[in-house]
A and B are shown apart, each in its own frame.
Chain A
């Protein structure tokens, strides 16, 4: 019987470690800006390089910020859904174009459709890193006060939109 003690102690340790690993949801777990104001930035608009944009542009109404790049294949795959959202929803859509040239980004949007109310041009990933993003595509829901309420990593599919993003936006609209 006493010989079982080390085994039981070992099992207890495994359970303890497993619980702490499984408890966290890795995407939302350590996202520093969840329920925090959108970070400060100073960049320019994609179509008009003389027009500077900052965090003030994000405030005032519920906004979807979508990180994309023409080099990013899943971004292309999710794009029709964003175009559809842009057409059917009364919602401000902001594009954050990452690691592109202006010309490439503009012709990509001309070809696939431009659902964005405006596009922030972030060639060097300045804002992408400042907002703690991990890659592209990523989509953020920001409330009217400019607070980040949700971060979605990966494509906005029909399912993600219907089950997660749309209900959240409806809830924010009723707040």
Chain B
């Protein structure tokens, strides 16, 4: 019982606590937040020199400059979508590590589901034939 009480008190403490940096002025984004958001954005952007790394992982000069530009834009108050749009406007869909769902990628996104459906269909027919043969 006492353990339960302590847990409740502890949880209430977390629930009503205010993160330290939340009191910062709203126009200035703290460096911690900038870094966090920039990393999230950067992990989704492909390094154009090394093809299979994100700009956060790549040591290439272009990726270094891209990382800096992403951080500058976060600081200047742009949203994640605006920053990704900017990069996409410069490098095309290629810059996105996760391809967007659009007409030329329907096949890419749909094929696994289509194959699964076909496999299930095949399984269902084979199973039915098997049970018919048994009887």
Q: Which of A72-105 contact B (CB under 8 A)?
A: 98-99
Q: Is the CB of A32 closer than 8 A to any CB of chain B? A: yes
Q: Tell me the complex Cα distance, A20–B93, Å.
A: 16
> Number of contacts between A and B (CB, 8 Å)?
46
Contact residues in B for A99 (Cβ distance below 8 Å): 61, 65
CB atoms of B69 and A134 under 8 A apart: no
Closest-CB distance, B125 to chain A (whole angstroms): 12
Number of interface residues, chain A, beta carbon within 8 A: 19
Binds B, one of A54-62, A112-120, A124-132: A124-132
Chain B, interface size: which category? 10 to 19
The reply to whether the CB of A133 lies closer than 8 angstroms to some CB of chain B is yes
Residues in B neighbouring A171, C-beta threshold 8 A: none
Whole-angstrom distance between the alpha carbons of A136 and B49 in the complex?
A: 10
Question: Is the C-beta of B131 less than 8 angstroms from some C-beta in chain A?
Answer: no
CB-CB under 8 A from B93, the residues of chain A are 30
Q: Which of A102-155 contact B (CB under 8 A)?
A: 124-126, 128-136
Dominant SS at the A interface?
A: loop
Contact call B69/A125, Cβ cutoff below 8 A: yes
By beta carbon, the residue of chain B nearest A39 is: B90
Given contacts A124-B65, A126-B69, contact A131 B90 (CB under 8 A): yes
27 residue pairs bridging A and B, Cβ less than 8 Å apart: A30-B92, A30-B93, A31-B92, A32-B90, A32-B92, A39-B90, A99-B65, A124-B65, A124-B68, A125-B61, A125-B64, A125-B65, A125-B66, A126-B69, A128-B65, A129-B62, A129-B65, A129-B66, A132-B90, A133-B62, A134-B49, A134-B62, A135-B48, A135-B49, A135-B61, A135-B62, A136-B61
Given contacts A39-B90, A130-B90, 15 further A-B contacts (CB under 8 A): A30-B92, A32-B91, A98-B61, A125-B65, A125-B66, A125-B68, A125-B69, A128-B62, A129-B69, A134-B49, A134-B62, A135-B48, A135-B60, A135-B61, A136-B61
Binding site for A on B (CB under 8 A): 48-49, 60-62, 64-66, 68-69, 89-94
